[in-house]
Structure 1
Amino acid sequence: MPSRDAKPGAPLNRASPPTVSSHAVTTPRSSACPGLLRIVPARDGGICRIKLPGGVLSAAQAHAIADASTLYANGVAELTNRANLQLRGVRSGHEAPLSAALIGAGLGPSTANDPHTTVPTALSYADDVRNVMISPAAGRDPHALIDTTPLCAELLTLLQSDARFAALSPKFALLLDGGERLARVDHPHDVWLAASAEEQGVRFVFGLARCPGSTGNNVNAGDHPDADGTGALAAVPPSHVPALVRALLHTFLDLAAAATRMRDLLATHSADAVLRHAQRYVDFPLARDASLRRWQRHIPADASLRLGAHAQRGDGMWHVGGQPPLGRIDAATLRGLAALAQRHGNGMLHATPWQSVLLTDIATNAVPAVLAKLSALGLACDPAQAITHVIACAGSSGCAKGLADTKTDALQLAERLPAGVEVHLTGCPRSCAAAHRAPYTLLAAAPGRYDLYRRDGRPGFGQCVAPQLTIDEAAALLARLVRSTPHA
């Protein structure tokens, strides 16, 4: 595997004065997004979101989350589509001790132990910016071009060390793609960087407000039209990535005004204008590379590799994955997973953006035992299991905006779902459970009733195939649709 150039990037140039007032770009943005210290009320209690660096937590941290969820919340941890965890049902009056317990377990921002940033508000903003997604198999995937874990750590440090980045939306996110086969590349990110093998070595192609190009079926260009993103713009060596990201973030804050996401900025500024402005912050050339217009990832991504056992890169070890139903893990199961990682793995759990869990560094002779234990804990380890293709938001049981009990309905649907059909149940149009567009979406219209949509490249969920379906009717119609269009 090519190694990343460890030589630090050149110092940043000073930018020209911001084009908006300094107050506008340094004032932290208000947000309703849950965080470690900003626990947001919902129908079923408070929501606390725990951001995991690189999607990884230790067995000790898993035990701490299990204990805290039992003491202060409903005893269940939910995996998110950004490879984080969240606790729901946080009881009123227990918010502060919950946050303190999680910070004490090392789950807070890197500034949590800094005496100068112990003010809860400052910690909350440092927590908000920790949005870098990498492959759950980074450093282990046999198809990777580069190990992105050191670079991910650098970017997380960068995000938390510049006070100005507190003005970024808590949803503002970066994707760092090392070319792994096990990679989620169909989620749009504000800035994406993807490894590319070139004559001069591995470089990172980058773009704004879209997804890395792909030759596989996981990315559908029609879901993220050029009006909302840029495609591949240019490429830089790995050593320039931190400086590039810093320049792009400062440029966004210089130009954003009321914009909260990169796609909003691109509605008023061209990608070339963004690059010209970012050039002020770096001393290496930064301009659109026309040769990258049709750039694509070197290999298709394969989400099925998150399940079951797969050989790691060149070390004779395996990673083994399983998916809890709808991404929900109760405290006993979380403790069981932690014990399994300690006994047979490296003591770490990797959350995935498919709401599943990966255990790494498993010896060959331990693989059958790990798979058996995951199944005993209630996790699905085979992509043929329908429950691994169903996602659902909190629904009416947990969210005031939900029009149907999506969690219960999703479990019922999975019992009748044809093999390999990916379905997303959402209680309202906000689509909180999915950052991508699933092939089929059931949008709640009333309790127990859904409008069925099929992805077809148009904005939103796609074409409305049928309205006001019960779960049984939806399952029957999905079976007919799959038979008539087997590659849907």
Structure 2
Amino acid sequence: MLAAMSSAALRPSSQATAVSRDRGDACPGTLRLHAADDGALARVRIPGGVLTVRQAEALADAAQRLGDGDLHLTSRGNVQLRGLADGCGAELAEPLTAAGLLPSRGHERVRNIVASPLSGLDARGLRDVRPWLSALDTALCASEAAQALSGRFLFALDDGRGDLAGLEADVTVRATADGGAQLALGSAVRALHVSAQDAPRAALAAAEAFLEAERAGGTRAWRVAELALADDELTDVAGRRLTAEGIGHERQVRETGRADGPLPGVVGDALSVHVPLGRFSARQWRELTRVATGELRLTPWRGVVLPTPGTTAAQRTGSLARLDSVGLVTGPGSPWLRVGACIGRPGCAKSRADVRADATAALGAVDAAGHQGLPLYWSGCERRCGHPRGERIDVVAAPEGGYRLSVVAPGHDEARTVSLADPSRLAAALAEIT
């Protein structure tokens, strides 16, 4: 599993801090662009990370024609286009609508769904969650109430292997060994068991229960963790809503797991690759679409899974070689699997450093440290945008210059930091902090 994206076990919901938002959610979308230092930014929601080759080509064309030519993967398996001109939203929306990437303009920012990327492609999952994905996305786009969800609200569909359990999604549906599904909200330790047939409808009902609880509390919240509710109280609200909609359910202890992505290489009936820092060049993206035999599955770990039904071992090996030749990670030994970074300079005005350049320059120190250590996440400021969940080493640009390292893991004092004046001396700083 990818060490860079491991996560600790679920934390009790009682540790969540209630938040009341005093403004609307400004999360960017395809129709609502975000002004960045390198131009406007669009975030295209890709439910389950699933793209047809035609849709992938449409994204590449839009990035080259309207943006900086690159495509950026997010920690939710979505795609960001950067360097866009102000006011190009309509021009961007037209080809994406034609490609089927904007089925409902009123819901385009709330189609945040992640799904087990290897579902149906290896022997580890309990069921293929693709039917759930299609059904949930369709129901979500048909729900008028769901338009009130924030652009940060997240659904997760886990095929039973537990790979999405540590992502702290707002609504998680997980396949169970008895043929049903567990429905869980936030980090609650109790779940609702529903039938597999009812799972997508139950997930939407749970999201609508969140909106109901938000209104009842008189506060504005973007995520389940922000509600001022006691442990599992929202689960009770969701249970009552399921009952009202005729969805049978029973309470049970929630199954736990870790957020683990597939390692690069041949995995089951698929190829898996990792994208350094989540940034695709036009050449890399085009090569992916040429290798793909039908679809691409973008992962929450800034990787891509390519299903390879009907191909031979020699063909898969050849495809990996092609992807390796354009700079994608195709094997499990790369230090890039332990390194992530925010956009940094020059794209973000709040960033104090070009963190991506510094992370790249210090890659040798990560390689020398071996692959058993904690992942590193480089951030241009204390916001740590896009950081992975769970244990890691934060490398944060300091106001006075250089960086400060801190360990985010049980048993470590997160307030303890080690200074790093020069990224070339990362190895010494890692030795000191760990």
Shift of residue 301, structure 1, vs aligned partner = 6.3
Q: What is aligned with 1:144?
A: 125
Q: 1:323 aligns with which of 274, 299, 322?
A: 274
Are the counterparts in 1 of residues 29 and 108 from structure 2 also a CA contact under 8 Å? Answer: yes
Matching residue's letter, 1:377? V
Cα 1:481–1:407, aligned 2, differ >3 Å: closer, same or farther?
Answer: same
Greater relative contact order structure (CA < 8 Å, 6+ sep):
2
CA distance in 2, matches of 1:348, 1:284: 33
TM-superposed deviation, 1:276: 5.0
The answer to whether the 8 A contact 1:405-1:447 is kept is no
Which residue of 1 is the match for residue 18 of structure 2? none
Which of residues 169, 174, 179 is equivalent to 1:202? 179
Give the distance between the partners of 1:160 and 1:462, measured in 2 at CA. Answer: 41
Q: Does 1:192 align with 2:143?
A: no
Match of 1:310 among 267, 270, 282: 267
> Aligned equivalents of 2:363 and 2:248: distance in 1?
51
2:116–2:158 Cα contact (<8 Å) kept: yes
Structure 1 residue aligned with 2:306: 359
State whether residues 350 and 359 of structure 1, in contact with CA within 8 Å, keep that contact through their aligned partners in structure 2: yes
Tell me how far 1:451 sits from its aligned partner.
Answer: 1.4
Cα RMSD over matched residues? 2.4
Amino acid of the residue matched to residue 235 of structure 1? H
Q: Structure 2: how far apart are the matches of 1:207 and 1:259?
A: 18
Alignment partner, residue 256 of structure 2? 296
The 2-side partners of 1:330 and 1:447 are apart by 33
Cross-structure match for 2:79: 85
Tell me the distance in 2 between the aligned counterparts of 1:350 and 1:145: 19
Which of 91, 98, 102 pairs up with 2:96?
102
CA contact (8 A) 1:72 1:95 kept: no
CA–CA distance in structure 2, aligned partners of residues 247 and 466 of structure 1: 46
Shift of 1:278: 2.4
- Is 2:229 the counterpart of 1:267? yes
Residue 233 in 1 paired to residue 199 in 2? no
Instruction: Report the residue type matching 1:449 in the other structure.
Output: G
Aligned position for 1:375:
324
Cα distance change of structure 1 residues 391 and 145 upon mapping to structure 2, 3 Å threshold: same
Which whole-Å deviations, capped at 9, do the CAs of 1:60-84 have from their partners, x for residues lacking one? Answer: 2222222211111111100111011
Q: CA deviation at 1:391?
A: 0.6
Matches within 5 A, 1:45-444: 45-108=39-102, 110-111=103-104, 123=105, 125-180=106-161, 183-197=163-177, 201-210=178-187, 230-257=188-215, 258-267=220-229, 270-271=233-234, 273-275=236-238, 277-286=240-249, 288-289=251-252, 292=253, 295-297=255-257, 302-303=260-261, 305-311=262-268, 318-341=269-292, 346-361=293-308, 362-417=311-366, 418-420=369-371, 421=373, 422-444=375-397
TM-score by length of 1: 0.76
Which 5+ residue runs of structure 1 have no aligned equivalent? 1-28, 112-122, 211-229, 312-317, 483-488
Shift, 1:170, TM fit = 0.9
Does the residue aligned with 1:206 lie in a helix, a strand or coil? strand
CA separation in 1, counterparts of 2:59 and 2:239?
Answer: 45
Q: Does structure 2 conserve the Cα–Cα contact (< 8 Å) formed by 1:452 and 1:474?
A: no
CA distance in 1, matches of 2:416, 2:223: 28
Per-residue deviation, residues 269-297 of structure 1 (Å, max 9, x unmatched): 824542454245333454533xx26x335
Q: State the identity %.
A: 31
Aligned equivalent of 1:12: none
User: What is the CA-CA distance between 1:416 and the residue it aligns to?
Assistant: 1.7
| Structure 2, gaps ≥5 residues long | 1-22
Q: How many residues align?
A: 401
What are the Cα deviations for residues 392-445 of structure 1, in whole angstroms up to 9, with x where unaligned?
A: 001131112212211111111212212224111112232222241342111221
Q: Distance in 2 between matches of 1:31 and 1:335?
A: 34
Q: What does residue range 12-51 of structure 1 map to in structure 2 within 5 Å?
A: 30-51=24-45
* 3-state SS of paired residue (1:288): strand
